[in-house]
Chain A
Amino acid sequence: MTTVFDKTQSRAKGIHIQNVGKMYYPPNGDPVEALKPVKLDIKPGEFLAVIGPSGCGKSTLLNIVAGFEQATAGSVLVDGVKVDKPDIDRGMVFQQYALFPWLNVRQNVEFGLKQLKVPEEQRAAIVKSFLELVGLQDFSEASTHSLSGGMKQRVALARVFCTNPSIILMDEPFGALDALTRSMLQQELLSIWQEYEKTVMLITHSVQEALVLANRIVVMTSRPGRIKLDMTVDLPYPRDSKSAEFRTLEAEILSELTDEIAKSYGCNPPSVTAD
């Protein structure tokens, strides 16, 4: 890799989620509490995975951290500054890729750098190095709709990391991909994260994904969401999903999660196997 990317500029930032809660007020109906006030401190450089049953408010929490939605209680601080709108310093990877179809692969990756007014020569070099990083150097002029889902998400990863944000937010980024592509992208994400030392907040419904990637895992309850389990994962990378330690942690998180899913349906916990 060329050294166009100044790593010294990238200092991962911590996120302080201070009793952040969210109420929705539907125009005709009772207010809905999507998120009970959540308190969570994410340390700089931490890779946090948030797991919970669907509808537990984990995406709401992520959207509040991103600045897309406003909390109705509490606040999010990044480096002491209150979050009230999206900022390019907090990158986001969407499940639906969210590539711009009117731009080709290179132009998509370049988009954020252009907004940051990075000079053209430097921009081209950064884009090139990040396309190489995700293995898409031969597709720089390809249109995005000719790409597979895995390739699209690689473009999205390059697009987010190349602007050198201090925080990366991910909303079930690999949820729409097949198992093989997913595990390849997880490994690529891990190596990029280890190289660039970002704070990552990942929303997922896969316990295995959380355990493969994160060094801290938070399990949320069913709606209204609050934190049920907060666990540090000390296993060394790359993690072997067949190892005994991995299996033990997986079983522990799964049982917490199964209780919650059962509660959200109002029935007894079904038997759940790892996905």
Chain B
Amino acid sequence: MAYLRHRLRGIGPYFIAGLSIIFVWQAVVELLHPSSAILPTPAATAETLWTLTKSGELITDIYASLSRVLSAWLLAAIIAIPLGLLQGTNRRFERVFEPVVELFRPISPLAWIPLAILWFGIGESGKIFVIFIATFFPILLNTVSGVKSIDPVMIRAGRILGCDTSLKLFIKVILPAAMPTILVGLRIAFGTGWAAIIAAELVAARDGLGFLISNGMEILRSDMVLAGMVVIGVLGVLIDSVFRVIGKKVNWGAQ
């Protein structure tokens, strides 16, 4: 019972936020009477959502988008975490690598779309590349700051307790000490990657939530556009909450 109440307290605000958005949305429709092609009612959008779910189209789109974000995010993690650990521990590497990162970081994932098409064609890899760009930097920067914010006394304790090689110290102290911050980076990156699917799926996609939205726009079905937006929002919150639960388990209470 206490557990349920605790759970509800977490979901409650989202429930109220959802209701408020629907309320305002409905009020705008009632007051301004826009044509349904410009702003459909919440009910019409819900109906479209239901139709898309029944036809299986929505599940296909969700699956397509999720697997793209997931592969790009994993790829980014595999590359960015080791680079971040290296940058955080090695001054010389940092001096060379940091300016490179800082030059690339302000370039939006959107800007990479033309090159993504040229380099990877219109297949899956181009889309994954665009999301990769969106997920890479949050993971890298958080890994670097995770390593740099380790209390030096932890390193000393590790060294005097028998971590006599850098590798031992790295595995036994540096990595676990930086882990909570690295996880924050992974969570933020999944969020930015998820937000970038629209951009990624502008690259000649035939499925995915981004496709649902851009296709809806082309055929003037704003209910489909809104349905896609709702799904992206709700799934984003759900995925983030999964990360939060994991993050709490791995946050050693120190930060």
| A212-259 at interface with B (beta carbon < 8 Å) | none
Task: Determine whether A163 belongs to the interface, using a CB cutoff of 8 Å to chain B.
Answer: yes
Task: Give per-residue flags for B151-167: 1 if the beta carbon is below 8 A from chain A beta carbons, else 0.
Answer: 10110111111111000
A90 at the binding interface (Cβ < 8 Å): yes
Which listed residue (B160, B161, B252) contacts A101, Cβ 8 A?
B252
**Quick check: is B83 within 8 A (CB to CB) of the other chain?**
no
The listed residue (B160, B163, B253) touching A90 by CB distance below 8 A is: B160
Find out whether the CB atom of A96 lies under 8 angstroms from the CB atom of B160: no
* Nearest-neighbor residue (CB-CB) of A113 within chain B: B162
The answer to whether A163 and B161 touch (CB under 8 A), given A98-B153, A115-B168, is yes
Distance (whole angstroms) from the CB of B247 to the closest CB of chain A: 13
- Count B interface residues, CB 8 Å: 21
- Counting CB contacts under 8 A, is A78 at the interface? no
CB distance from A59 to the nearest CB of B (A): 12
Q: Which residues of A contact B154 (CB under 8 A)?
A: 98, 100
Number of A-B contacts (CB under 8 A): 71
With A88-B160, A88-B162, A112-B162 as contacts: A94 and B153 at CB distance below 8 Å: yes
In the assembled complex, the Cα of A90 lies from the Cα of B153 at a distance in Å of 16
| Contact A163–B162 (Cβ < 8 Å) | yes
Q: Which residues of A contact B176 (CB under 8 A)?
A: 100, 102
* B163 close to A94 (CB less than 8 A): no
User: Is the C-beta of B189 less than 8 angstroms from some C-beta in chain A?
Assistant: no
Which among B158, B162, B173, B254 has the highest number of chain A CB atoms within 10 Å?
B162
Question: With an 8 A cutoff between CB atoms, is B177 at the interface?
Answer: yes
In the complex, what residues of A have CB within 8 A of residue B177's CB?
A: 100-102
B151 to chain A, nearest CB (A): 7
* B202: interface (CB < 8 Å): no
Cα-based distance from A85 to B155 in the complex (angstroms):
13
**Alpha-carbon distance A111/B177, docked complex (angstroms):** 15
Query: Considering only CB atoms, which chain B residue lies closest to A145 in the complex?
Result: B253
Shortest C-beta distance, B166 to chain A (Å), equals 12
User: Is A116 located at the chain interface by the 8 A CB criterion?
Assistant: yes
Contact yes or no, A86 B159, CB < 8 A = yes
Which residues of the partner chain B approach A111 to less than 8 Å between Cβ atoms? 161-162, 172
Bound form: Cα–Cα A218–B163 in Å: 32
Given A96-B153, A100-B176, A145:B252 Cβ within 8 A: yes
How far apart sit A68 and B172, CA to CA, in the bound complex (Å)?
18
Tell me the residues in window 230-253 of chain B with beta carbons closer than 8 Å to chain A beta carbons.
252-253
Chain A residues, Cβ within 8 Å of B164? 85-88, 115
Q: Which of B157, B159, B176, B254 has the most CB of A within 10 A?
A: B157
Interfacial chain A residues near B168, Cβ < 8 Å: 115
Distance, CA A155 to CA B160, complexed state (A): 16
Contacts of B159 in A (CB 8 A): 68, 85-86
- B229 partner residues in chain A, CB cutoff 8 A: none
Residue of B151, B156, B162, B253 near A68 (CB, 8 A) is B156
State whether the Cβ of A128 lies closer than 8 Å to any Cβ in chain B. no
A153 and B154 alpha carbons, distance in the complex (Å): 14
Q: Which of B151, B161, B254 contacts A145 (CB 8 A)?
A: B254
Closest to A115 in B: B162
Does any Cβ of B come within 8 Å of A159's Cβ?
A: yes
State whether B254 touches A101 (Cβ < 8 A): yes
Cα(A163)–Cα(B152), bound, Å: 22
Flag if A98 contacts B157 (CB, 8 Å).
yes
Contact of A92 among B160, B172, B252 (CB under 8 A): B160
Query: Which residues of A101-121 have CB atoms within 8 Å of chain B's CB atoms?
Result: 101-102, 111-112, 114-116
A interface residue numbers (CB < 8 A to B): 66-68, 85-88, 90-92, 94, 96, 98, 100-102, 111-112, 114-116, 143-146, 159, 163
Could you write out 24 A-B pairs with CB less than 8 Å apart?
A68-B156, A68-B160, A85-B159, A85-B164, A86-B160, A86-B164, A87-B160, A87-B164, A90-B160, A94-B157, A100-B176, A100-B177, A101-B253, A102-B179, A112-B161, A114-B162, A115-B162, A115-B164, A115-B168, A115-B172, A116-B162, A144-B252, A145-B252, A145-B254
Given A88-B162, A98-B157, 4 more contacts at CB 8 Å? A86-B159, A90-B160, A114-B162, A143-B253
10 closest pairs, A vs B, by CB? A115-B162, A145-B253, A101-B252, A98-B157, A101-B254, A86-B160, A112-B161, A88-B162, A102-B176, A86-B159
